[in-house]
Amino acid sequence: MPAYLVRTINDQDLVGVFFATSIRDLAWLVDEAVDPDLCEYIRLGPGGVIWTEPSIKIPTQCKSELEVDWEAEEPPIPWSGASFTEVWGYSTYRQNERKWKPIDLNIFDLCAGELAESSQVEPPRPEGRIQNSKANILPFTPPRKSEDQ
């Protein structure tokens, strides 16, 4: 699954690093922070986020999921001590050599796409001749029984 570095178009402010199977999926993820059509991205190669000093025990010691107010509290991850691996870091410093691509999808596009996908109906089957085939569909009529049998 590809990784993407995303920034805002106007301010070139870092939005995040995302893993997504498609640009549509990337737009859904970016929408958690900012309107995706205000952003651009580059695809990242192998790499990651690392801590070179001791940081935090995993799993973290926090309240159970039922006790955490997810709107008020963030899990205690010390992002201030984190950095990109060399390959990803190189991507952030050598930006002018890479072409950033706009996401070009907003929440309305995403919702319309989801609505279109969910309302797909199976196309009607052709009657008579099958498309792109030389075969004909003929009704089957069983032979009549003669009175002698």
3-class SS of residue 79: helix
Q: Would the pTM of this model clear 0.75, i.e. be above it?
A: no
pLDDT at residue 25 greater than cutoff 70? yes
List b or e across 43-53, with b for residues whose CB sees 16 or more CB atoms inside 10 angstroms.
ebeebeeeeee
Q: For 41-96, how does the pLDDT look when each residue is reduced to its tens digit (9 = 90+)? A: 999 999 999 988 887 777 666 656 566 666 666 666 777 788 899 988 887 777 55
Residue 130 has a pLDDT of 53
Beta strand 39-44 with 3-8 is antiparallel
Q: What is the mean pLDDT of residues 26-43?
A: 94
Q: How far is the C-alpha of 27 from the C-alpha of 80, rounded, in Å? A: 26
Burial 61-82 (b: 16+ CB within 10 A, else e): eeeeeeeeeeeeeeeeeeeeee
List all residues 6 or more positions away from 109 whose beta carbon is below 8 Å from its beta carbon.
27, 37
| Per-residue pLDDT tens over the stretch 104-136 | 888 777 787 554 454 455 555 555 555 555 666
Give residue 80's pLDDT.
77
pLDDT at 53: 84
Helix (H, G, I), strand (E, B) or coil at 85: coil
pLDDT given at position 107: 77
